[in-house]
Structure 1
Amino acid sequence: MKVFMKIFGIAILAAIAVGFYFRLSGDIATGDKIIGIAVLATSFILMPIFLVVRWRGKRLKDYTLSEENMKKMRDKGVD
């Protein structure tokens, strides 16, 4: 999955570069479409996959502010 994310991330960066190339060469509409599709792919495909990979195997309870975690922080002297 991490290899897929790296390849997909590089492909998105390449698409953004191609979009800017089209913008500079005079075809602004096509360049904007390519850049827009790359940004949408980043937002709706790459970011959720990244979040799933990073949160796999972790408990949300460890990162939430509950009474138990507040007590642990008080006992350790972290305010």
Structure 2
Amino acid sequence: MRDLPDDDQWICDRRRAIGERIREERERQNLTQDAVWLAARISRGTYQRVEYGEEVTLGTLLRIAAVFGVPLADLVR
């Protein structure tokens, strides 16, 4: 079993990396933020928080992965 680092900066770094991968996938598919949040049935603000790497729910990430047609694991690896 691994010990966690003393601070939570690693969590912020991981969330930012996930948000960046989601933005990259959106751009790869030539989609706008509006198209994604509307298709995922989430709010604009929620989607923006995802791309900015802020705290979001697993359900939100699953919705976005479904809209992109990719496994969630591809976005959070």
TM-score where L is the length of structure 1:
0.37
Higher share in helix: 1
- Higher Cα Rg: structure 1 or 2? 1
Q: TM-score, normalised by structure 2?
A: 0.38
